[in-house]
Structure 1
């Protein structure tokens, strides 16, 4: 083997003889090209490898943070070179986790049996074969949703869309069918709502080209599965009869379910079930739930609004990272203590509700918790912190992969939940009792049998020693082995006492311990190391921070015999454990319900903590019915910005009321806070609709049906879209979707084209939203001409971000004030950004030249118009003295005079004419 980098101690080396190298290269070439979205690993027994320049560079950067670990794999004749990166099993798992969960790529693993073959395959929406790698000893903080789509043309521009969503963690199928426009507006809202990692399409071409573009814009991986046979396409009912969970006494037949009347959605579900191969995993059978997804339950969000409001953190950001808290709205609100809480919180922020009843319940509970700070702290720090991921433990039960330790962890949750229940009952709050306590009571009653079974079967004394065993009373052979282990343990304890006497050590200083790799041994403090070394009866096994581990020949003999007995005990109890797990599987439904209830409690506790620990505490919003036409936010702040260090946030207000004011046109300097202000409003409305308190001093919010945004400008290079095209796509979605119950935030629209065209488009959109849609709108712009809308539309108000400027100083005040700011102060902002002074001076000179030239042209035009007006005045005077002139000729002269006056850029004349028209 030849390499081109310095090999680190951790980096494994690929050992292949000449023949093996040739055969592998031959096999690799035979595979042919693969999609760039797929990374292939090869299990070389003592290490894993990837090959080809793309895979090598990507994996080397993930594992080694450098491409220096890419090596050439050469056969002896060296006619053909194949790059490779070798990695240990631990680094292979690290790479797979990153590729599937962060980068949203596919992974294939090839294993050599008699020949090389594809053994494992995974994708962002299908993690089943990699669950042990991804989630062993790891918290599952994200959902795992895959959707399947079917589209059918109905009329010229309408499409019927069938959607099936499969959530493998929660074992749920959700079906939805709707008629959409040719821009797939509703489909985008569905994608935002569900947040899938992957989407199954019948095709990526033809009718599905626009769908593919939409999915790519939202970062969803696209898969086109192979078409099944005619027989496979007719067996959906058969599959559902095996997968669905039916109630006791209910006929196990999915035929007649109303959800399956949506034919396109049902076909999409069939494709998803086959792609995920759910039927061939026994752990799935009898555990899935089928329901219809109702989009009208949720506030409509488009992808532009999700990006504009920074709802979700960047991919790969973990709650333990320092930046997580202020990077996104999810980070601000997510103080959850459990993995299931983290997952539900991510779902809630993407699915703001339109149900006043549910929102009122959430706000009531958050307020109650804030008024009981001791209870809030106890729930968060003492109880929820100790709750494991019940959903993942339940899945292990369902797949018959659970151990006695897993069962004991579930038992601990069942023991701790009544304490949580008692604490909640002590609040004596009606909403807390109905929403939280009543379900807890019900699920605990359903789990009574499981609790009793664990208490009858599990040996709790052995757990105290770190071992998970079945009680020996279940089997005679187990009793014999248990008796032997007890005798051996007693002998080891006597050796421990003898050691203390021989070494003249305090009995409390010498511990008898059991560690998996070492077995039973003794441990004492590091300061007694010298005493140990002088005694030849004992030898040191290991030195750790906690002390010195040591043993003796007799102790080692007892420990080996004990380990052998325990192994035989575990083998003997295996059949009993399998029976216990089989019974425990029957409690999967109440366990899942208990998991969901604890997740909900965790989220509501998290809302209360977020409201309390903000620099300025959040307040409860007063929620009005949809269409009430009020949006009043006093001293609204941006929750992410105020959490950043060295930021002293300046709060502002907004006051919208139906038929009085529904639009703010916001002008002001660059960097003056326009974008932050409008995002703050959108964020507060979103937070109120998920059930959280809001960063204001007072908030009255009419519930909205959608939050739509167009903030920021950036090219989408990957998709081949310019800044202007992205703007137009996002804005066209707003125009199609917004109603008078919507909230729209728009920032700097029209910058990607010529000034006049951009201004015309921005004006037209603002006017449409103000006159036709009449929704709540915050419209930030540098086109000062648009502010003139306020002169003709009484519901439009001009506000500006204040700044103070003179010849030498320029200060941004970040305060919203009434009226228009005529300048954008771009040159002053450049000076604040420490531009080189000569560049700023040159910019000022060029600006002055343009301004003088414009003024000169305007002056010449005005002079010509004044000459015309002079002539018109003389004609009117002459005509007035002429008693023979008819009315029509006089009317024409007056009309011409008015037209010329209007072309003259004179505020005086404009005011006179407007007054006369009125």
Structure 2
């Protein structure tokens, strides 16, 4: 075996003899090709390996940040070689987390049993069950674990009926919906944005499903086509649901009567998802799932382009602890949450802006109340909420019978702390806080009274103070006997401690009696007292650490061994009791889940308040008007991400839309002048208001919208085989199909990537359609100055521009929105700002001047030709005027041609004369 680099200390060595190497290479070759979306690991007992070029490079970069750790596995004959990367168990865990949670790839792990390799376990972004211990053990779960399944039925014409089943394994929920979609699957894309699935199950990736597959891949969702079954039986679904669903008290435990199952396509999709995830064979799932019908009309429609345009979500792999997290995305701006469940819910809220005026007013009322009570806000954020653990994960451990007494005690602590949170909220004396937060908290706490009492009866709180989690001895006679024995042994060790202190003539505070795993009970003194200890032969040193010297004696060692033996018997005896306790605690899963959700909601609302007051300029409460009210006014609107960046002094601008008076702004101005930032600021403020947050303005009046649609930025999508222009057209076609008069649309630089005239024509056509037919609120930033002429024919279209000042030597961007059209382009000045070499800039200016002169010459020649024609027309009209026998139709034709020629002449005078005449 040879390597291509020096092995680092972190990198384990792969020990295989000649025969083992040959056999492994042979087995690996037998596996054959695999999809690029799958990474295979092999458990080599003392380390893990990956093999093959693609897997090796990817994992080496994740684990070692370098491909220098890719080695070659060589048999003696060196005929067949195989690349590999070896890693420790901790690095394997790191790689699996990255691959499943960040890169959305599938992972397989092979283990050797009885001389043969077997696929031991596998996982995918939507099916993490077999990797939960690796992914979430002692770690906060900040991401959802959602998977969807689709079924498609072609209806008349180009219509498609789509059935969707979504499974959220963290929250134990099934959501079903069905809808009729167009051939572009506009509603399906909105559903994918709304649910944010990691993986989608499709019956096929071809035929009718090819377009669906393309859409899902565009949105970063992994595609899985499960193996086809010989017989698909609806009764299988009913049997599975009867075991998985949590039925209400008094409700008949039969899924057959549930109205949600009337959605036949969605029900079939759910059957496939349950089977793929193997939910029924996990005892922790039984009796805990809830079935809902999802109503898309509850939420503001967002497409993937709008999510990208508004920077709603952070880049994959970004963690809230990272310094850049706060200003990279809208989620980062708003997410000041203190709990893992709060982080998860906030990520859900920003992707699911609401169309319910009532719920939004409740959220705004609570945020305002918290801002008016800064002391309460600080207490909740800095003290109470940050002490709340992830109840959802603790509840899942209960349901899977993997919980310990420590887990149960952590749940108990939440039940103890929640009344203090409740008391703080009651003292706010606010009716919305009372109905939305206090009342549910009271109800769930009452439901958890029995669990609280059971923990107090069973758990030994004195032992917890010593760092041990034990059942009270009084709970069982055998435990009581063992506990008394351990108490007597502990007293004997304390007497030895006093005796040792006297013998070594030490201050009693410096001699510690400690218990450490593997060593058991022992004494410890500081390093500076080491010399005193070494002179006394009654004691022997067992360990030296930074914190001091650990030592023991024959008697102490005897007591410690006896204590450890009793402790082992005590733990064995209490294990059966703990299992019974956990079994009872599982019955409280429903109120614990509800309490978790309520605390997550509170955390998000507290986070909104913190985001509002901590901004460079505090946010204000938006005044929300019903849908169709036809008003959108944002005074001094700022971009929340940009203003958080260091060394940025943000220049605020305003916007005002009013139905039938102004529904479109066409914005011109130089590159880097702030057009994109301005239109994004407006879209962002409207989104923030619809999730219940305050907005970065000095005043905000917002009519609720049914959709926020965006087309901002231009970039190729090489992986998907789409050009800049094609991406642009796909996104814009979605806007045209979806937008209504209640929508907000932001479009930036539409029409690039094709010829100037075609681009301008497409941009004009779309702008005119949105202004005349759709009549939605639209911000349309463009470099095609021709489009500004729309304002001359449509009274609801207004022109504005980003101001800039330029002279022979200087060019200054003012970042201010001013009415009217920007008459001049400043591309060459921007190039100079970007530090282009001066000779390049000069050359650009010369070429520009040549084109301008050429255009002017052509225009002058055109004008000369037109003037000649006009002169002839005037003479014809003069002659016709003196001819009393001329036909009226011929005269009309001459006048029409004369007017047409005049209009083609680039003359403000003639234009004004004609417009006055026509008026």
What TM-score comes out, normalization by structure 1 length?
Answer: 0.99
1:280-295 correspondence runs (5 A): 280-295=281-296
Distance in 2 (CA, whole Å) between partners of 1:707 and 1:541 is 68
Between the aligned partners of 2:83 and 2:540, the Cα distance in structure 1 is 49
Tell me the CA shift for residue 611 of structure 1.
Answer: 0.3
Range moving further from structure 2, 246-255 or 226-235: 226-235
RMSD: 1.3
CA gap 1:542/1:768 in 2 versus in 1, 3 angstroms: farther
Q: CA deviation at 1:560?
A: 2.8
Displacement after TM superposition at 1:543 (Å): 4.7
Q: Secondary structure at the match of 2:514?
A: strand
CA distance in 2, matches of 1:562, 1:705: 69
Q: CA deviation at 1:488?
A: 1.7
Query: Deviation at 1:546?
Result: 4.3
Instruction: Please give the alpha-carbon distance, in whole angstroms, between the structure 2 residues aligned to 1:545 and 1:327.
Output: 42
User: Structure 1 residues 74, 817: CA separation in 2 closer, same or farther (over 3 Å shift)?
Assistant: same
Deviates further, 474-483 or 45-54? 474-483
Q: Which residue of 1 aligns with 2:130?
A: 129
Change beyond 3 A, Cα 1:663–1:546: farther
CA distance in 1 between counterparts of 2:815 and 2:651 reads: 7
In structure 2, do the counterparts of structure 1 residues 332 and 526 end up closer, same or farther at CA, with 3 Å as the change threshold?
farther
Q: Per-residue deviation at 1:83? A: 1.2
Residues 814 and 473 (structure 1), Cα distance of their counterparts in 2 relative to 1, 3 Å cut: same
Distance change (3 Å), C-alpha of 1:530 and 1:633: farther
Residue 513 of structure 1 aligns with which residue?
514
Distance 1:373 1:591 in 2: 29
Deviating more after overlay: 226-235 vs 823-832: 226-235
Mean CA deviation greater in 462-471 or 562-571: 562-571
Deviations 1:746-769 (A, max 9, x none): 000001110000001000100111
Instruction: Write the distance in 1 (CA, Å) between the matches of 2:518 and 2:307.
Output: 50
Q: How does 1:332-481 map to 2 (within 5 A)?
A: 332-481=333-482
> Residue 275 of structure 1: CA displacement?
0.2
**SS of residue in 1 equivalent to 2:174:** strand
Going from structure 1 to structure 2, the CA distance change for 1:518 and 1:635 (only over 3 Å counts) comes to: farther
Query: Aligned to 1:653, what secondary structure does the other structure show?
Result: strand
CA displacement at 1:116 relative to structure 2: 1.2
What is the SS of the residue equivalent to 2:163?
Answer: strand
Shift of 1:913: 1.2
1:721 deviation in Å?
Answer: 0.4
Q: Distance in 1 between matches of 2:277 and 2:612?
A: 41
CA distance in 1, matches of 2:696, 2:627: 21
**Mean CA deviation greater in 119-128 or 871-880:** 871-880
Assess, with a 3 A threshold, how the Cα gap between structure 1 residues 821 and 517 changes in structure 2: closer, same or farther.
farther
Task: State the shift of 1:896 in Å.
Answer: 1.0
User: Using the alignment, how far apart are the partners of 1:784 and 1:34 within structure 2?
Assistant: 52
- After TM superposition, give the deviation of residue 541 of structure 1 in Å: 4.4
Q: Equivalent residue for 1:82?
A: 82
Q: CA deviation at 1:261?
A: 0.3
Against the structure 1 CA distance between its residues 8 and 540, is the aligned structure 2 distance closer, same or farther, given a 3 Å change threshold?
farther
Q: Secondary structure at the match of 2:676?
A: helix
Provide Cα deviations, 1:88-118, integer angstroms capped at 9, x if missing partner: 1111111111100011000001111112111
Secondary structure class of the residue paired with 1:235: helix
Taking a change above 3 Å as real, the CA distance of residues 16 and 495 of structure 1, as seen in their structure-2 partners, is same
Distance 1:535 1:857, change over 3 A: farther
The change in CA–CA distance for 1:526 and 1:177 in structure 2 (over 3 A counts) is same
Q: Deviations over 1:15-64 (max 9, x none)?
A: 12222222222211111111111011111111111111111111111111
CA apart distance, 1:542: 4.4
Question: Equivalent residue of 1:876, what SS?
Answer: helix
- Of 338-347 and 873-882, more deviation after overlay is shown by 873-882
Per the TM alignment, residue 889 of structure 1 is displaced from its structure 2 partner at its CA by 2.1
Q: In terms of mean alpha carbon deviation, does 17-26 or 687-696 score higher?
A: 17-26
Q: Comparing 642-651 with 525-534, which one deviates more in the overlay?
A: 525-534
Name the residue aligned to 1:574. Answer: 575
Secondary structure class of the residue paired with 2:758: helix
1:258-279, Cα deviation, whole Å (9 max, x unpaired): 1000000000000000000001
Q: How many residues align?
A: 918
For residues 49-87 of structure 1, give each alpha carbon's deviation from its aligned partner in whole angstroms, at most 9, with x where no partner exists: 111111111111111111111111122222111111111
CA distances 1:373-430 after superposition (whole Å, capped 9, x unpaired): 0100100111000000000000000000001100000000000000000111011111
Q: Quickly say closer, same or farther: Cα 1:824–1:23, change in 2 above 3 A.
A: same
Q: Shift in Å at residue 445 of structure 1?
A: 0.3
Which deviates the most, 245-254 or 301-310?
245-254
Report how far residue 539 of structure 1 moved: 4.4
Return the offset for 1:513: 2.5
Q: Which runs of 5+ in 2 are unaligned?
A: none
Structure 1 window deviating more from structure 2 (474-483 vs 257-266): it is: 474-483
Distance 1:843 1:533, change over 3 A: farther
Q: 1:527 to 1:370 in 2, by over 3 A?
A: farther
1:553 Cα deviation from its structure 2 partner: 3.9
Per the alignment, do residues 867 and 539 of structure 1 end up closer, same or farther by CA in structure 2, a change over 3 Å counting? farther
Gaps of 5+ in 1: none
Cα deviation, residue 527, structure 1: 4.0
**In the TM superposition, what is the alpha-carbon distance from 1:887 to its structure 2 partner?**
2.2
Moved more, 904-913 or 847-856: 904-913
Distance in 1, Cα, partners of 2:462 & 2:916 = 95
Task: Give the Cα–Cα distance (whole angstroms) in 2 for the partners of residues 852 and 138 of structure 1.
Answer: 67
Greater alpha carbon shift after TM alignment, 901-910 vs 152-161: 901-910
Write the distance in 2 (CA, Å) between the matches of 1:908 and 1:169.
71
Q: Distance in 1 between matches of 2:535 and 2:878?
A: 128
TM-score (normalizing by structure 2):
0.98
Partner of 1:713: 714
Distance 1:545 1:438, change over 3 A: farther
Cα distance, 1:329 vs structure 2:
0.3
